[in-house]
Structure 1
Amino acid sequence: MADVVALQLLGPFAELFDGDGILARVAKFVGVFLVVYGGGRGIVEPLVMRAVRVRNENNPTVVGAVKLYLHIAVMVFAVAAALAAAGYTRLLTGSTIAVAIITLTVGVAGREVLGTLVGGLFLVTDQNFNVGDYVAWGDTEGIVESIGFRVTRVRTVDNEVISVPNTHLTTNVITKPYGQNRFRVNEELGVYYEEDLEGAIEILRDEAVTDPAILNDPQPKIRVRSFEGDHIRVQVLFWVPDPSRKTVLDTFSDYARRVQARCDGADITLGATSAVDMGGDLAVDRADG
């Protein structure tokens, strides 16, 4: 009797609160979404991520990607469950116009998005491409900071973070100059003909062999490459263990300073391989007018 009186009092608004009313559907949608989403974030995600971290302790790329993909999967599943509870799935799937619009939108506007998603999956599953790697492609290089669905963020040598589309990385040649357990430093310099060539070679070799930051196996090599116009071209080869861009640059910088100091003490002048000395006399005659 009370329900009948309540419906009579509500009058035209009564249909909003019955089992098929708009407010009832909204309440079902919100309730189911909160339950499913909360359960996924509070129960499913922690359990899955704990297992992923145990199996990928040294691979932050996989851990970060699984966390992102799992969060999106929980969101999609919660929305789908809420739509089903509210009774809207039949409306969407039964509408030919809706299906056609969705298909057209995905086919035209989503082609590039799907390409970046696939590119992101390829990068995540590539064991040779991980967060923390130093990579180079084209004229750009830097450290990979994160790999997302659409873009990969890289910190360049200028300490700038750039967002690179995944498709750009998957369709270009990527090099990892410091990806192995050692890195070869290959530099060339010039020793002028009037200088002590053997003394310069001895200094170059001695500073490389005695440097604890440079590997002794393989041994450093100092080679005479060619005779140039005003100098002899000398090549310096040595290897740096556990390389990163910073360690390679610091090692070579320290090596070059020590070599320069010893050469100065021995009165040996080194020059760049492209250096050219120009000499002669310049005379200016004044023309009498």
Structure 2
Amino acid sequence: MSVPWFERVVAWYGSLPGVAQLVLVAVAVFAVGSVVGRPVIDAVQWRRGTSDAVKEAVESSYVALLAIASVLVGFAMSDVGSMPAATGAVLAAATLSAGIGARDILRNTVSGLLIANTTDVSVGSWIEWGEYEGTVQSISLRQTKIKTWDGESVLVPNSELTNNAVVSPQANGVYRVDYEFGIGYDDDLQAAKACLREEAGRIAGAASEPEPQVAVSDLAPSTVNVQVKVWVHQPTPGKAARVRSALLERGKERLQAEGVSMPKPIRTIDGSVALDREGDRGGYHGVQ
């Protein structure tokens, strides 16, 4: 026994162009899938301990998969084979463009999940990557928001952070601050090192363990360079900056108080000056 309204719907559907059939089926499948899948998405998203990035990833991934499935079902249930060649070419080009865009979205999505489940990179973390550094403000599915020391907010694609080396100065709970002091060749090297070691141990915020280290790092043309290393426990950008500033100030003042010279670099300029006199007038031709 046939159902008249169903036959009319089938006949109407069959009279539609192939593209219209594809769009109609895809929209219908996507709508049904959205309603049916919502309880599952909500259950996963509101699990205890699930991060915001993972919640966003679950919903975005489900929507993306549902959209792909809807298009595939639309192709299977539509008469796209009868479409004109021009229409098929346009549809193929659109599909290719969507695929290229989906590739970048998928790459950043996977990267966002990796970052969200990494303990070394989280909101509030101090990180360095490439030529940049700053504090993580938020982590979303596709990008990470970072505040630089200049107060600028930078939106970094997640794939850039996962595909490149990222340094986390806070990860191990200790951070090294160092500086090179240049002293004269005629000065007492051991006395200068002792002064710098003593001052490094008095810096507020610097760790007593590991102990400060003072060692000759280079024999420059005009100075003997002495590197001083101190460590900071539970480092923050501000704490590290204060310790470094104190190291420079205390080291300089102590060396000057002890009469230790800190010569400036010697620069030698080679060349010659040519003068060309024409009549009673001289002309300067510069350094050659």
Q: Same fold (TM over 0.5)?
A: yes
> Secondary structure of 1:52's partner?
coil
Q: Compute the displacement of 1:71 (Å).
A: 5.9
Aligned counterpart for 2:78 among listed residues 91, 95, 100: 95
The answer as to whether partners of 2:120 and 2:168 remain within 8 angstroms in 1 is: no
Q: Compute the displacement of 1:107 (Å).
A: 2.4
CA gap 1:93/1:127 in 2 versus in 1, 3 angstroms: farther
Q: Structure 2 CA distance, aligned partners of 1:147 and 1:127?
A: 13
Q: Compute the displacement of 1:158 (Å).
A: 1.4
TM-score after normalising by structure 1 = 0.63
Note if 1:249 corresponds to 2:264: no
Q: Compute the displacement of 1:97 (Å).
A: 4.0
The answer as to whether partners of 1:141 and 1:157 remain within 8 angstroms in 2 is: yes
Q: Structure 2 CA distance, aligned partners of 1:255 and 1:117?
A: 43
Q: Deviations over 1:104-139 (max 9, x none)?
A: 554243222222222222222233322222222221
Q: Compute the displacement of 1:73 (Å).
A: 7.5
CA gap 1:210/1:97 in 2 versus in 1, 3 angstroms: same
Structure 1: state its 5+ residue gaps.
1-28, 54-62, 81-89, 279-288
Aligned counterpart for 1:51 among listed residues 48, 53, 67: 48
The answer as to whether partners of 1:190 and 1:271 remain within 8 angstroms in 2 is: yes
Aligned counterpart for 1:259 among listed residues 229, 251, 264: 251
TM-score after normalising by structure 2 = 0.63
Q: Which residue of 2 aligns with 1:65?
A: 53
Q: Which residue of 1 aligns with 2:134?
A: 142
CA gap 1:225/1:167 in 2 versus in 1, 3 angstroms: closer
> Secondary structure of 2:146's partner?
strand
The answer as to whether partners of 2:173 and 2:234 remain within 8 angstroms in 1 is: yes
What amino acid is aligned across from residue 228 of structure 2 in structure 1?
A: V
Aligned counterpart for 2:167 among listed residues 131, 156, 175: 175
Aligned counterpart for 1:232 among listed residues 219, 224, 241: 224
Taking the TM superposition and a 5 Å limit, the aligned residue runs for 1:1-289 are 44=42, 49=46, 51-52=48-49, 63-69=51-57, 94-95=77-78, 97=80, 104=96, 106-271=98-263, 275-276=265-266
> Secondary structure of 1:211's partner?
coil
Q: Structure 1 CA distance, aligned partners of 2:61 and 2:219?
A: 66
> Secondary structure of 1:109's partner?
helix
CA gap 1:65/1:193 in 2 versus in 1, 3 angstroms: same
